[in-house]
Amino acid sequence: MRTTALTTTLLAIVMTAAAQQAGTKESPAEHQAAVTSRGDQEMGFSHEKTTHHFRLFKDGGTIEAAVNDAKDTESRDAIRMHLSHIAKMFAAGDFNAPMFIHGTNPPGVPILTELHSQIHYRYLETGSGAQVRIETANAQAVQAIHDFLRFQISEHHTGDSTGVTEDSQKK
């Protein structure tokens, strides 16, 4: 796992440096294509075969992924593997995967890294994939979680609400 994280970090650094040296800025379409390509590579499943959702709650939020076709057990299992891995990485303060996927350090990551011991990442399987429930009692960490999730909503074009909603699992 450490080798993967190190490789991912080095690749993100090299890609960022190359883009800066070239002095070129990606068009929105080029950026989206690059995010999708790097995301499919990092996550191990296709954006086209799955659906992502990001939800904001008073005490944090969730990262969710599900297969579009219930018979696609290969993608479902890849989602579960990836989100299980993400929950462990984020709990350790390692946010290299989103940095690689998006080609930038997402908003909130410096605070999430600094306060990682005050944030709980709970992996949960769903019938069609999995989710990572993110919770904290720290107000600064909640804001960082919301900033991070809003960035994900924007980058992945999920159409999810960027407002704080009620957590249906806590009812």
Q: What pLDDT sits at residue 24?
A: 59
Kindly report, residue by residue over 26-35, the tens digit of the pLDDT. 787 765 665 5
Kindly report, residue by residue over 61-104, the tens digit of the pLDDT. 999 999 999 999 999 999 999 999 999 999 999 887 766 565 67
Kindly report, residue by residue over 128-159, the tens digit of the pLDDT. 999 999 999 999 999 999 999 999 898 888 99
Asked if the model's pLDDT at residue 2 lies above 60, the reply is no
Beta bridge pairs of residue 136: 119
pTM, two decimal places: 0.76
Q: Where are the domains of the chain?
A: 2-158
Sign of the C-alpha dihedral, residues 4, 18, 112, 155?
negative
| Burial degree of 159 (CB within 10 A; 0-12, 13-18, 19+) | exposed
Q: What pLDDT sits at residue 96?
A: 78
The closest of 123, 124, 163, 121 to 146, measured between CA atoms, is 163
| Residue 80 one-letter amino acid | R
Asked if the model's pLDDT at residue 55 lies above 90, the reply is yes
Q: What pLDDT sits at residue 27?
A: 81
